[in-house]
Amino acid sequence: MLNCSEADYLKRDRALIAESMKIRFFPILLESSKGCWIRDTQGKEYLDFSASWAVANTGYGHPKVVEAACEQVRKTTMNSHISIPSPVTVELAEKLVGLMPGDFAQKVWFGHSGSEAGDLVAKFLPIAKQRPKIISFEGSYHGQTLGAAALSGHSASERFSGSTLMAKVPYPNPYRYDGDENACCEEHLSNIRRLLSHSDHDYAGLIVEPILSDGGVIVPPDGFLEGLGALCREHDLYYVIDEVKAGFGRTGQLFAFQHSRALPDAVMLGKPMASGIPLSAVVGRAEILDAVPSGHMMTTAGNPVACAVGLATLTVIQQEGLVKRAAKYGARLKEGLQMLAERYPQIGDVRGRGLMIGVELIVPETVAPNPALVAQLCFRAKELGLILFYVGTSSNVIEITPPLIVDEEEIARGIELFEQALADALAGKVSSADLAPYLGW
């Protein structure tokens, strides 16, 4: 039962906070967080396998990250880089450019969110290439501001459309493809090849997630990202990769596209970039980012506090070996979940890279999505002490993205709680009345 204080705050939240900024899976009120754990206002602790939507890659409250924020705040709380540059912002830009492939001139644009980065892509690619259209993918999620929503192919954005002209093509999903992965890859590349078959096509660029994140944690077949790059080069399109959710070590590479030999013209960054302090970036060809001087600027973007924390976050990821850690512990987590799939026919697929894993729940003896069971599982997991969120265009994929500092014991505990929550949900231990206010996606 909720105590009076928590119940009161949740009631006030319902009354005051707009529904337009909510995706709720269960009742909870945050008091504090540390490492891989969060604590509610009743003092109960939860193992967090969401990392606040894959934001807390370095864990909550990493001392080096906290100290970087405090040190910079003591120097200045704010500086608008659009008019007075700050050294720490330049240093972070240099670091980011140094991490990207390509022998062409590159620059950095800074924002606060992945959505703003998506807006830049939607606005600038048509201008830089002098063609009006962009190719993106069904099920993709590039943000919620108008331009970013136009790029997206996720059902959460389908009611919005911007001025950008889009062609949305299917994203390859090996689990739901009747054939091998090579055939899946070639068929989906052929869809794009047909769009570009005329020499006078009017496409400026293509944007893709290296793992379709909110669309269901779908890993494309080998060769797909390279194939997209080859098509873009052949037909003179800009190639943009959205690393907002998958980046900064989560997949067992610093950036998820590095599991392939893809060479993007621009890369979108966000979410974990500053360990939760609002910061995003696009790193890419100077000709794209310079296409419209003063054309996409925000007063507080690239501010020194956020950039100092961004530098500290990168330092922690690199010096503490969190990329290799994500690969190692992600493999163990995936193996444990696959063992559950052998015992529970409701688990149709376990997929992902590193510590970005999707568990797709289905109706047994079919591949029909089972969103009702997913919602029940997440609700029950929270009651047991495990935080899980779900994604997917059919709302039937559990997204598992713990902080990259997660350890062996926490992984074992998470798998144990996941199984118990699934068993309890199947046993009918989640009431429809309790679940009704928490509709998720």
Q: How far is CA 160 from the centre of its chain?
A: 20
Other beta carbons within 10 angstroms of residue 69's beta carbon come to: 18
Active site residue 238: no
Backbone angles phi, psi at 363, to 5 degrees: -80, 125
> Which candidate, 230, 219, 234, 218, places its Cα nearest to that of 261?
230
What is the rounded CA–CA span in Å between residue 295 and residue 278? 20
For residue 271, is it left (φ>0), alpha (ψ between -120 and 50) or beta?
left
Contacts of 103 (CB under 8 A, 6+ apart): none
Contact of 409 with 45, CB cutoff 8 Å? no
Q: Which two tokens stand for residue 190?
A: 């052929």
| Partners of 360 in beta bridges | 349, 397
Q: Which of 9, 46, 60, 141 is catalytic?
A: 141
The position carrying tokens 């899946």 is 184
The position carrying tokens 């005051």 is 16
Q: Which alpha helices (H) appear in 51-86, and where do they start and end?
A: 51-54, 63-75
User: What residues are labeled active site?
Assistant: 141
